[in-house]
Amino acid sequence: MSRSATLPLQSSMLTPLSENNRLRLFSGSANIPLAQEVARYLGMDLGPMVRKQFADGELYVQIQESIRGCDVYLIQPSCRPVNDHLMELLIMIDACRRASARQITAVIPYYGYARADRKTAGRESIAAKLVANLMTEAGANRILAMDLHSAQIQGYFDIPFDHVYGSPVLLDYLASKQLSDLVVVSPDVGGVARARAFAKKLNDAPLAIIDKRRQAHNVAEVMNVIGDVAGKTAVLVDDMIDTAGTISEGARLLREVGARQIYACATHAVFSPPAVERLSSGLFEEVIVTNTIPVPESNQFEQLRTLTVANLLGETIWRIHEDSSVSSMFR
C-alpha cells in the first residue's frame, strides 16, 4: 500500500530540466522505483547505466553517456544486501570520477552502518566513519542523506553534507487523519530529541518517553513509561524499524498503561525478521514508513502504510544544483 503525500514545498525550478544539460541522475540497483519517482519529479530520465555481477560476486558498473563536466547525482540506499549495495555505490562514484564529472553527489536515502557510530566497548570498529572514508576516497564531492541514525555522522565527512528529514511526509499524513488527544512517544532515551521535534510540529503535542535497557544487539527490555499516555492516541516515533523489538515492546507497555490507540512512525523500514510478525500482531492501528528502503511484497501487512519521499529528495537535489537553501524546506 502506498500513498504519495503532498509536501508543502514550492519548487525552485527556473528552467525545464530538459534544457539543463549539466544535471545527471543515476540509480543503483537498491531502490530503482524511488529513483524513478525522483526523476519524474525533476522532469527528467534516469541516466543509462550497465550493472552486472560476475559469477564470483564481483560487481561491474559502466555509465553509458557522457557526463564530462556534469553535476551527477547517484541514488543508492545501503539497504539489504548492505555490502553489495554499498560496494555498488562506491564503484558508481569511481566510474563517475574517472568519467570527469564536475561534481558527484551520493544520494543515500538510508545510510547503512549508521548504528556503529562510536566505540561502546574495547576493540570495536566505528564502521559509520569507515563508510564515510570509503565514499570520500572513492571520489564523492557531496553527500545527501535522510534521517541519519546519529546526526554526528555528518561530522565524519570532510565534504559538504546535506541531512534532510522524512518528518514532513509523516506529519502530512498524520495531519490528514485528524487524530485527537495525541501524545508523541520516544521509544528510548536516545530518540528524545527526534520525538520532541516531531511533537513540536504536531501543534506542540505532549511528549512521553519509554525507558528501556538493551541487553544485546536487537534485544530490548522495556522498563517503564515517563509521561501521561492514558486514554490518548500514542504516536511512537523512530528513525528506523529493524527487528521491531524496541517499538513493539514499547507499544505493549503503552497498551498496559492505558493508551487508546497506537501509531508507529519511522522513516526507514529495514524490517529484519521477525519484524513483520511483531508489527502485524494487533498492537498498532497503523505502521507508517517511507520508501527510502523498498518493502518487498513478503513484508507487506494490513496495518502498513508506505509514503513516498521522492518529491522531498527531488526538491533537495534541485536546490543543491541551483545553490539554493535546503534547510528552508524544513522551517
Show which residues are catalytic: 212
Backbone φ and ψ for 202, nearest 5 degrees, come out as: -100, 55
In whole angstroms, give the CA distance from residue 118 to residue 280: 33
Burial class, 112, CB count within 10 angstroms (exposed 0-12 / middle 13-18 / buried 19+): buried
In whole angstroms, give the CA distance from residue 38 to residue 40: 5
CB atoms within 10 A of CB 88: 22
Backbone φ and ψ for 246, nearest 5 degrees, come out as: -60, -50
The answer to whether 286 and 264 are in contact (CB under 8 A) is yes
Helix or strand or coil: residue 121?
coil
Pairing mode of beta strands 207-216, 49-53: unpaired
210: closest CA among 220, 202, 198?
220
Where do the DSSP E strands lie in the chain?
A: 2-3, 23-27, 49-53, 59-63, 71-75, 103-108, 142-146, 161-164, 182-186, 207-216, 219-226, 233-241, 261-269, 286-290, 304-307
Please state the three-class secondary structure of 234-256 as a single string. Answer: EEEEEEEECCCHHHHHHHHHHHH
Pairing mode of beta strands 219-226, 207-216: antiparallel
The answer to whether 11 and 318 are in contact (CB under 8 A) is yes
Q: Cis check for the bond before 274: say yes or no (omega within 30 of 0).
A: yes
In whole angstroms, give the CA distance from residue 249 to residue 251: 5
Backbone φ and ψ for 44, nearest 5 degrees, come out as: -145, 175
